[in-house]
Structure formats: C-alpha cells, structure tokens
C-alpha cells in the first residue's frame, strides 16, 4: 500500500498557478510491482468460482434425468463435459449431487497441443469464449449421442445400453480444415454438418468419406503460380460475415430441416458475397512469424457483405466399402455394427435458391439477422434488418419458394445444375411478412425470442418479443397464412408501395404476455403447452437482478406474472423441454454462485432436488484459460454466465477475507436513476480512485451478482490502495429504449456526463474518494471514453489508461457505428464531435498522464486507431506512452501478456496517481 508523504512547495518550487501537485508517495520499482501482481493472483485465487454452463437434459429409461454441463473437473484446469443424474421427487431435497466426467479423462483431445486454427481463434473472439478445452457441445437427447469440436477436430460419443460414462469419443474424418459451428441432423444424428474452408461439409461415422456440400469458396490451397489471395475468394457458404458475428451475435450460417416426409435431407444456408468489402492486413497473431493476416472489414459508410439464402438437398445411399483402408478412415473398424450395415454415400446433391431473391422481395434489407425453420419443417423464417437498423421484418419463406436451381462454377462437372426435380408439388405459396417493426427515433435490438406454437389450419401462432412499449416484452401473435399461388400472378402484381415482392402482415391478434417498465431477457423462453405457461428470465424486481418468472398463455394477462426465484440474488436459468426440471445458478454481489436442480411443480413453484457443488480447492493449478483484458461487450455483467479463470493456488485468501464491492444508486440531474459499484480500498480517508469505465451500449456492468475472476483487476487495484468505481450510464443495457437511445448521435457525450456526475456524488456521499487523484481506465469502448475523459475533463481525471480504444468512428465497422451514429455521409458533424482525434489538441501537456495499450493483431478495434492518435499527439508535441502487445488480438489471451498488462497498469498508477 502507498504511504503518502507531505510535500510543501514554495513559490519558487516551479509549480504553476493551479497546477496539480502530486503528494509524494512511496515509489515502487518495476520488479516490485511485477512481484505484487504474481502474489495477488495467488491471494485472489478464491475468486475463481466455477459454475456449470451449457446445460442439457436427457430422460433416462430408469426414470432419472441426466443433466449434462461444461465445467472443469476436480483437480483439473481443462473445461470438459460432466454429468449428474437426478431422480425427480415430490419432496424437497437439498443434498449434494455428485457429478462425474462424461468423457474418459485419459483420451487425448489435442487440447494441450495448441492446435487451434486461426478460424477457431477468430470465432472465439466473436463469441467472447473464455474457455480452455471443450468450449461447446451438442446433445441428441433421444439417441444419447454427444458431439463436440475441440482443437480443430470433431468428436462424437454415444451413450447406450452397452456404453455408459465415462465415454471414449472418436474423431470424425471431417475432410480437413477446422470444423466450425458443427450441428447434428435432427432426423439422423450420425450426420454432422459443419463449416470449413468457406463451405459446408458433411461428416459421419457411417459415411464413406466426408462430403463437401457447397462450392462457394474456390479453396484455401495456394495457387501454383500466384499463391492464394483473399481477394480471389469473396464468397463463402455457411459462415456469417464479420459484422453478423460481431454485432448481431449470429455465428452459424446453416440450418438443418427438423422434419420431413420424404428421404431428402435439406439444409438452408447463407451464402455471403464480400467482393465489395475492403481487405485490411494486420500483423499475424503468431507474433514471431513476421507474416501478415488479411481480413475483410467494412468500415462505417462503406459496402457491406451481401447475404442470400439458399438450400442444399441430398440423399443417402448404402454402399459397401471397397478396401480395408475405408474402414479405418471412417472409424468403422471399431464399430462392428457400422461395418455390418455397410457405408453410406451422399448422392443427388442439389442446390436451390429462392424464386425471388430476398433483395428483390425486400430491397431495403441489409442484414440477415436471424434464420431458422418452423418446427414442422415446412417453412424457413428470417429476421431482416435495414442498414439503419430502424426497420425489422420477420418473414416466412415456404419450402416451395426454394425452387430455382442454383449451381457453382467450381463444383465437379457431374454435380452441375441439370435434371433438378421440384422441391414440392405446386401450388407455390407466397413469401409472407409476419411481423413488421420500426424504431425511427432509436434502433432495433435484435433478439432470440421466437417460439412457434402447433399450427391450426391456415393460422400460425407464435411468441414474439418486441420493444414497441419502450421495454422488451413478450407477445402472443396469431397470423393468417396465405396459400395463393405465386406463379398465378405476375411479379408486378405483388409489388407493394415499397417495392416488396411479398405478402404483408395479416395479424389476427397480438396479445401482450408481459408488460411494465422492466425488461424480459432477450435470449430464451420455455413453453409448457400442457399447462399453457411460458417461463422466462426478466428484470421485473430490479434492473440489477435476473429472476425466473412464469406467465399464462391464456387470459388473464399480462398481470398474472409469477416470480419463482428469490429476491436478493441474480439467477442464470436452464429448463428442460418438458418444463419439469430447472437448473438455476444464483448469487449476489457478496455471495458465491450456488447451482441447484429444481423440479417445477404445478401450480408453478420450484422444489429443490439437489445442489451441484463447486469443486473443492485444489493445489497448484496453473492458469491456462482466458486471462484477458477488461474488453468485450459481454462486459463485467451477467451476459456471460461462465467463470472460466483458474489461478495458481499456492496461498489463497478465503472469500471472507476479500471485501465485497458495494452497489449504490443515485438520481441523475436528468431525473433518472443510475447505479454504480464501489470497490473500496482498506486505507482510511480519501484515497486515489480509478473510474473503471465501459459506458457503451449493449453492456450492463452493475448487477447484483457474483462476478469473481472477471473482476480480478478491480480487487487487485483495491488491494494496492486504489478505490475502484464502475457506473452504468445512459446508453447501457437493460433499462429500456429511452435510456439506451439517449446516446444516439452523441457517442462520448451523454455517457461521460453521467459517469462524472455519479463519481462526484459518490465522493461526497462516501468521503473515500480523493477527487484530486482520479484515474479513468477502460478497454474497447471504455478505452474510447477514457481518452475523451482526459481530453475533455483534464481537471477531473489526473491520468488515463486506455486499452484498445476507438479513436475515430469512421475506422470502425458499419453495423455497430451506424446503429448509433448513422452513416458518416448523413452525420459528418456528429462523427467529428465523437472523434478522439478532433480532441487531440486538448490532451494535457504534462508527462505521466496518458497511457495507451493495444494488441498489434487486434482485428476488431484495429491498431490503426492507436496509430492515428499517436501520430496526432506526436505532431502536437503531446506527451504520452504506448504499450503494444504483439500477437494479441482485442482480448489479451496469453498469460504472460495479461500479467505484463496488470503490472504496467499498476506501475503507471503508482508512479502518476
């Protein structure tokens, strides 16, 4: 801890009038600070509380329910698949549920080899995956088949009468390339589709060989003459473009048909054309290679990728393997049943596109936000968004619309279009709009809530979420479905006033299920049809806590919403398909997460069936998981439910020895309530303080939940004598449309006003903040606000530490920037006002006040942001310091980089605050 020493300066001591005079403090060497980081990581290791994530359920024949989840096993660091069996009971039972490994621990999955492809690493960046090991899996409940990708390979394992855990997974031959977003066929789980090398592939233990299903991409093998160039390969199938993944959180680009009445397998997929998207080069993430990596990145105001929906169909044909080698390539030699039945071969591959492409039917459409199938497999649905993100339509695409033959110039000759059969018998139905929404004064937040109910005649009912009331709420919508032949009238007859070749909404009824000045979480709902109930997670009691609720599908509503979890905690919830069992992890800001299994009784109430306990502390576990920076839009809130850091456990404090942060609330001058979190250091009186800021949209940092290792550095700073403050200002998430939209066209203005106002109130309220010694620090959007804070309020913030900051919004991507700022050509003055570069002349002239940190391989907020600001600061003669991390992307994932960053941060604050 620092020791303040009084310093008195006379008139001749060189202090200019009004100039800040820093109290003399004990100075720490770099070696001392680095050792302190090492020690603090040990002492704070108790923050690393692991909770089950990615919950799945499966009913067993003995009446039990098997619950699958991801977590690290006891005495282990690698995330793996675990399970526990529960016997549903009418009585409550809070006993411990033993969990066991589903996968044999001695099986080598290649995790330790570091065989993670570039494609996998980039997908993790988009998904904010913070795991080391098995990051995702898929369960086919009826067959018991488990499939998961790991270390550029694809594995499957089967539970059955003759096979019980721990299972020995086998690797599928995927044809080369890292398998991305793999998905089992719902009708035939032995078939696994995945994206690799820009196309969709099919793999399976019974397939004679992996089969390429699309040919959008020319291929990633170097050309014998000129070598491979990204510019020569602008198309890909089954893989969303960058902004779709980063800004709309859609990571898959293909979807299996769930049901069919014939022997044809169908996959609808997105084909992306990025020929107009500019290519940028960055230093390789392999920092010592000296090579560069190419990325397509659409900057604000420039062309986006173009998306179209297509369909691939195929059949399977049984054929006998011809050589012994075939058996081993397919893994069939280990599975005698598969050898006896012979091998399957993919035949009759056909490609179809829409009779009228989406861009013809909806000329305004820019982003393909969500896609899926109706449960009966007769329709594809899609959420279409315009470029301004102020208009969204949910459209229904009948299977018969995918009837125009398509082809690929790079496909083998025998697969070219020709001899195509019709998908379905005529008549052909129209494309139909089910829902149309606009938000002229804000933007539309894309969500995942869409649940189709069993169809009745020519009507279709579904549960939909909308912000039309100002807050996200659930609605039960019933629409009439048109069956008129599209070929019986001309295209001109179908063109509406906005030149859309589709039938407009025909809503019979739209009834609110929930209502009020609170939000439903936009991720998932669970529908209990027999009891006519819908379960959902929402923020009704307080915007700081997530709770499970039940509401009736039939009247009375929306006033019959029932709270099922305990106030004072925030919950992460998973429910089985029958809505009879739930797994709920609850915590609050001062208590660690507890995961319990519940039976859902009738009328709705929760009966605890057992507790999935945390693993006991283990000794000397070396961290090999994510150790990144305070970046990402998952923030430090509850949007990411996992706790994935594991620390060295040589000398750990207990939870009771680490003071929990406090949540405080105040009323802003605008009349609205703001919440903040305070990590108070142990020293008495007023202390130097760090305002840890994100401040941007899509994130909520202040919640009544235990965040553990995600807030490691806040606890580190507090342990070193600094208070830490985090504020959710206007523009942050989960407070309603008006609260969010306050920043539209005003990035960097409203947020900083609120942050400073709350900071000043907190200083008066608590008496622990030395307003002469305040630092502002953040990452990504928080880095942007940190820079603006120092440039525009140098009298408030003594120092600034900005990580991976945006410095000019014209350099950032289209979807994010234009959502909040509009297009640069339409709002040039707003872009100038929001630019850090325009404020460069106002940065302080004193040394030791500005530190910028950036990963050189950052493909999200490119290093050119820091380079542009640095060039301007150099031109103006402004003092500053830049810390570069070669090989690191937007998140600092390497342990040595994370530790160096922490030491750099602490040393800079000790020296200058």
Annotated catalytic residues are 780, 858, 890
How far apart are the C-alpha atoms of 276 and 270, rounded to whole Å?
A: 17
Structural tokens at position 12: 């001749």
How far apart are the C-alpha atoms of 740 and 759, rounded to whole Å?
A: 20
Which are the contacts of 536, defined by CB distance < 8 A and separation ≥ 6? 474, 514, 520, 521, 524, 525, 526, 548, 549, 551
Compute the Cα dihedral for 296, 636, 620, 595 and give only its sign. Answer: negative
Max CA pair span of the chain: 97
Region of residue 516 (phi > 0: left; psi between -120 and 50: alpha; otherwise: beta): left
Contact 172, 156 (CB under 8 A): yes
Contact 538, 513 (CB under 8 A): no
Q: How far is CA 876 from CA 536, 839, 872, 883, in A?
A: 54, 11, 6, 20
| Beta-sheet pairing, 723-728 with 687-692 | parallel
Helix 895-912 vs helix 712-719: angle between axes, to the nearest 10 degrees?
40
- What residues are paired with 181 via a beta bridge? none
How far apart are the C-alpha atoms of 755 and 689, rounded to whole Å?
A: 13
- What residues are paired with 774 via a beta bridge? 689
Contact 182, 191 (CB under 8 A): no
How far apart are the C-alpha atoms of 95 and 508, rounded to whole Å?
A: 49
How far apart are the C-alpha atoms of 20 and 684, rounded to whole Å?
A: 22
Which are the contacts of 892, defined by CB distance < 8 A and separation ≥ 6? 627, 628, 629, 855, 885, 898, 901
For residue 422, the 8-state DSSP code is P
| Burial (0-12, 13-18, 19+ Cβ within 10 Å), 335 | middle
Query: Within 10 A of 401 (CB to CB), how many other CB atoms are there?
Result: 25
How far apart are the C-alpha atoms of 134 and 175, rounded to whole Å?
A: 21
Structural tokens at position 98: 């033993």
Contact 315, 266 (CB under 8 A): no
Structural tokens at position 766: 């608590």
Long-range CB contact pairs, 477-480, < 8 A, 24+: 477/434, 477/435, 477/507, 477/509, 477/510, 477/511, 478/507, 478/508, 478/509, 478/510, 479/432, 479/434, 479/505, 479/506, 479/507, 479/508, 480/506, 480/508
Contact 696, 749 (CB under 8 A): no
Token pair 């977590």 is found at 71
Compute the Cα dihedral for 336, 342, 348, 349 and give only its sign. Answer: positive
Tally the residues of the chain: 913
Contact 505, 434 (CB under 8 A): yes
State whether residue 752 is helix, strand or coil: helix
How far apart are the C-alpha atoms of 387 and 398, rounded to whole Å?
A: 25
């Amino acid at each position: 801890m620092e020791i303040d020493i009084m310093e008195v300066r006379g008139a001749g001591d060189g202090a200019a009038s009004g100039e800040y005079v820093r109290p003399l403090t004990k100075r720490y060497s770099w070696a001392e600070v680095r050792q302190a980081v090492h020690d603090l990581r040990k002492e704070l290791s108790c923050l690393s509380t692991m909770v089950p994530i990615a919950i799945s359920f499966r009913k067993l024949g003995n009446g039990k329910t098997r619950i699958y989840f991801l977590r690290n096993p006891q005495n282990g660091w690698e995330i793996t698949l675990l399970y526990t069996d529960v016997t549903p009971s009418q009585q409550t039972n809070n006993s411990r549920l033993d969990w066991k490994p589903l996968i044999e621990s001695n099986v080598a999955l290649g995790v330790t080899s570091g065989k993670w492809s570039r494609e996998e690493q980039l997908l993790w960046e988009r998904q904010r995956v913070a795991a080391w090991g098995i990051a995702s899996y898929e369960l086919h409940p009826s067959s018991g088949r488990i499939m998961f990708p790991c270390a550029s390979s694809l594995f499957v394992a089967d539970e059955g009468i003759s096979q019980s855990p721990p299972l020995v997974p086998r690797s599928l031959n995927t044809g080369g390339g890292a398998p991305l977003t793999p998905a089992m066929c719902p009708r035939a789980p032995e078939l696994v589709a995945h994206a690799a090398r820009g196309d969709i592939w099919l793999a399976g233990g019974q397939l004679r060989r992996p089969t390429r299903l699309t040919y959008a991409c020319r291929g990633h093998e170097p050309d014998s003459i000129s070598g491979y160039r990204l510019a020569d390969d602008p198309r890909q199938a089954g893989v969303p473009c960058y902004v779709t993944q980063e800004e709309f959180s859609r990571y898959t680009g293909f979807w299996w048909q769930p049901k069919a009445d014939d022997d044809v397998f169908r996959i609808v997929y997105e084909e992306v054309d990025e020929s107009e998207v500019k290519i940028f080069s960055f230093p390789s993430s392999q920092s010592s290679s000296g090579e560069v990596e190419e990325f397509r990145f659409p900057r604000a105001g420039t062309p986006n990728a173009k998306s179209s929906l297509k369909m691939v169909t195929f059949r399977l044909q049984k054929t006998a393997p011809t050589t012994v080698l075939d058996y081993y390539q397919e893994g069939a030699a280990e599975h005698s049943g598969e050898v006896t039945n012979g091998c399957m071969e993919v035949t009759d591959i056909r490609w179809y596109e829409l009779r009228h492409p989406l861009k013809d039917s909806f000329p305004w459409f820019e982003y393909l936000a969500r896609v899926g199938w109706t449960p009966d497999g007769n329709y594809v649905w899609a959420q279409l968004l315009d470029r301004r993100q102020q208009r969204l339509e949910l459209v229904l695409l009948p299977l018969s619309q995918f009837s125009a033959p398509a082809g690929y110039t790079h496909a083998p000759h025998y697969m070219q279009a020709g001899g195509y059969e019709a998908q379905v018998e005529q008549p052909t139905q129209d494309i139909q709009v089910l829902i149309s929404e606009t938000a002229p004064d804000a933007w539309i937040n894309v969500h995942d809530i869409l649940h189709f109910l069993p169809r009745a005649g020519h009507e279709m009912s579904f549960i939909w979420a909308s912000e039309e009331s100002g807050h996200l709420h659930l609605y039960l919508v019933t629409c009439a479905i048109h069956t008129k032949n599209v070929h019986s009238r001309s295209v001109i007859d179908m063109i509406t006033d906005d030149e859309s070749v589709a039938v407009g909404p025909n809503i019979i009824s739209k009834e609110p299920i929930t209502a009020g000045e609170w939000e439903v979480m936009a991720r998932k709902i669970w529908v209990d049809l027999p009891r006519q109930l819908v379960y959902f997670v929402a923020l009704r009691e307080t915007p700081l806590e997530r709770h499970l609720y039940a509401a009736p599908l039939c009247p009375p509503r929306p006033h019959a919403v029932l709270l099922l979890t305990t106030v004072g905690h925030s919950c992460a919830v998973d429910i089985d398909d029958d809505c009879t069992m739930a797994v709920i992890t609850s915590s609050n800001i001062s208590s660690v997460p507890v995961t319990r299994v519940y039976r859902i009784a009738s009328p709705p109430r929760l009966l605890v069936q057992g507790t999935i306990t945390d693993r006991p502390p283990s000794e000397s576990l070396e961290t090999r998981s994510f150790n990144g920076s305070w970046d990402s839009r998952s923030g430090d809130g509850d949007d990411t439910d996992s706790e994935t850091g594991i620390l060295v456990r040589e000398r750990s404090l207990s939870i009771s020895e680490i003071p929990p942060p406090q949540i405080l609330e105040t009323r802003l001058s605008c009349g609205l309530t703001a919440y903040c979190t305070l990590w108070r250091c142990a020293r008495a009186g007023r202390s130097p303080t760090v305002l840890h800021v994100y401040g941007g949209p899509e994130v909520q940092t202040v919640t009544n939940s235990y965040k553990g290792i995600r807030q490691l550095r806040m606890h580190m700073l507090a342990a070193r004598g600094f208070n830490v403050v985090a504020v959710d200002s206007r523009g942050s998430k989960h407070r309603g449309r008006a609260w969010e939209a306050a920043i539209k066209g005003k990035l960097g203005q409203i947020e900083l006003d609120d942050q400073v106002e709350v900071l000043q109130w907190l200083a008066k309220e608590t008496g622990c903040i030395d307003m002469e010694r305040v630092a502002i620090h953040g990452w990504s959007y928080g880095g942007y606000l940190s820079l603006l804070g120092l440039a525009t309020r140098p009298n408030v913030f003594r120092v600034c530490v900005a990580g991976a900051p945006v410095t000019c919004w014209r350099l950032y991507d289209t979807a994010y920037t234009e959502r909040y700022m509009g297009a640069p050509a339409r709002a040039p003055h707003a872009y100038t006002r929001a630019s850090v570069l325009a404020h460069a002349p106002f940065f302080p002239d004193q040394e030791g006040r500005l530190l910028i940190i950036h990963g050189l391989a950052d493909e999200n907020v490119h290093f050119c942001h820091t380079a542009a600001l640095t060039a301007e600061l150099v031109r103006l003669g402004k003092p500053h310091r830049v810390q570069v991390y070669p090989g690191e992307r937007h998140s600092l994932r390497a342990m040595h980089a994370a530790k160096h960053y922490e030491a750099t941060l602490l040393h800079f604050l000790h020296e200058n605050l």
